[in-house]
């Protein structure tokens, strides 16, 4: 059958493919079968419980069929090559206290990994094509296709799925991107990683600021900071806003506290994923002044584009309110007041109003009163009134 090759040739081909993957910059490479992923039933239960929040695309019939069986994506699939590329560990240098800076998850400090890795995946697929004597059917994905990629990675021997749902490698930790090539040729399969090395460690569960990590090694995405700052397109629930801290895109807390990352995660990465200036800890006052064109210039080719301007400024307002909480700091109030008065997006104005109430003080009180006199959006007016209520006592 086309795609099946003698065992001796299969071993040689697999070794050559893994060597080429390393040459292209993939630190991890393993092979698994296209059989249904072992935890698909748990994924269905997770969806049934509504823990995917507003990510309706995960529950579409077409998506579910493909996640249940990779051969629905590529009927000719004989094997799946699973790959990993490290990015720098999430470490934030101390900033001067007079600045208000947010935090961005480490995977978004550099170039958009989708672009960087797709080029390598296509190059690797071309290499494999050159090794076989028939047209090679294949599909490449990196967090873009309907695959349960952590399941596949565990079955390909790349690590175990930790309590925080991240795939953890015993010598690299969890700071790495996953990518897959579905191949219409057989490769030698790797043994699954079957050992759970989290043991009794509770650090990620205890450190999560919203308690979104569940005992069954799933997340309630509706409470996860990464979901709230990226996937959620509407208002962040008011009771969760203080728990965002200074995170404006994603969150690394559960990875930062993981002993496997503290011991083994690389502190540096290849140039494609090293931090670009101001991407790691953006100036929140400057962020709130970004118009559409400036946002596009600042984040062209960055994963942060996914949040879009309205989501990013929403997050920046919340983070600034948290960092300046109770201080009445004039620079924070001025930035938030300008956003509340001038931003064209009601979503941004709503969160700026909340943040002004959190910063507090006379200046914030006056900014909220002035905004209330001219604001026409009903939800923003409601946020202004809510923010004014605790401040009226200082009038």
Distances (CA, A) of 260 to 165, 203, 217, 247, 256: 14, 11, 17, 23, 9
377 is an active site residue:
no
Neighbours of 311 (CB within 10 A): 24
Strand 176-183 versus strand 79-86 pairing type: antiparallel
Q: Catalytic one among 143, 190, 283, 377? A: 143
Q: Is 189 exposed, middle or buried (0-12, 13-18, 19+ CB in 10 A)?
A: middle
Task: Report the catalytic residues.
Answer: 143
């Amino acid at each position: 059958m086309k795609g099946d090759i003698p065992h001796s040739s299969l071993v040689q081909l697999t070794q050559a493919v893994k060597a080429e993957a390393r040459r292209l910059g993939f630190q991890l490479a393993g092979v698994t079968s296209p059989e249904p992923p072992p935890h698909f039933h748990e994924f269905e239960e997770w969806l049934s419980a509504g823990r995917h929040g507003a990510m309706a695309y995960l529950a579409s019939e077409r998506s579910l069929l493909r996640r249940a069986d990779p051969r629905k994506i590529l009927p000719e699939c004989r094997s799946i090559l699973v790959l990993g590329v490290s990015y720098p560990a999430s470490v934030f240098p101390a900033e001067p206290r007079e600045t208000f800076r947010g935090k961005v998850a480490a995977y978004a400090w550099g170039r958009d990994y989708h672009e960087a890795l797709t080029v390598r995946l296509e190059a690797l697929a071309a290499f494999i094509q050159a090794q076989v004597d028939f047209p090679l059917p294949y599909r490449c994905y990196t967090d873009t296709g309907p695959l349960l990629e952590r399941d596949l990675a565990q079955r390909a021997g790349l690590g175990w799925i930790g309590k925080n749902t991240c795939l953890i490698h015993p010598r690299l930790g969890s700071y790495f991107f996953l990518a897959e090539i579905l191949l219409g040729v057989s490769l030698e399969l790797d043994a699954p990683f079957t050992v759970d090395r989290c043991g009794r460690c509770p650090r990620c569960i205890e450190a999560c600021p919203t308690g979104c990590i569940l005992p069954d090694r799933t997340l309630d995405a509706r409470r996860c900071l990464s979901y709230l700052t990226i996937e959620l397109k509407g208002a962040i629930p008011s009771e969760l806003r203080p728990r965002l801290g200074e995170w404006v895109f994603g969150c690394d807390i559960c990875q930062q506290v993981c002993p496997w990352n503290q011991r083994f995660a690389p502190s540096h990465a290849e140039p494609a994923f090293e931090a670009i200036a101001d991407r790691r800890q953006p100036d929140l006052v400057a962020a709130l002044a970004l118009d559409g064109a400036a946002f596009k210039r600042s984040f062209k080719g960055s994963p942060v584009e996914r949040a879009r301007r309205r989501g990013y400024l929403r997050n920046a307002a919340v983070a600034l309110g948290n960092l300046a909480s109770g201080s009445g700091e004039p620079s924070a109030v001025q930035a938030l007041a300008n956003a509340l008065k001038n931003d064209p997006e009601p979503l941004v104005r709503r969160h700026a109003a909340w943040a002004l109430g959190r910063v507090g003080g006379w200046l914030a009180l006056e900014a909220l009163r002035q905004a209330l006199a001219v604001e026409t959006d009903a939800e923003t007016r409601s946020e202004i009134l809510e923010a004014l209520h605790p401040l009226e006592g200082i009038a």
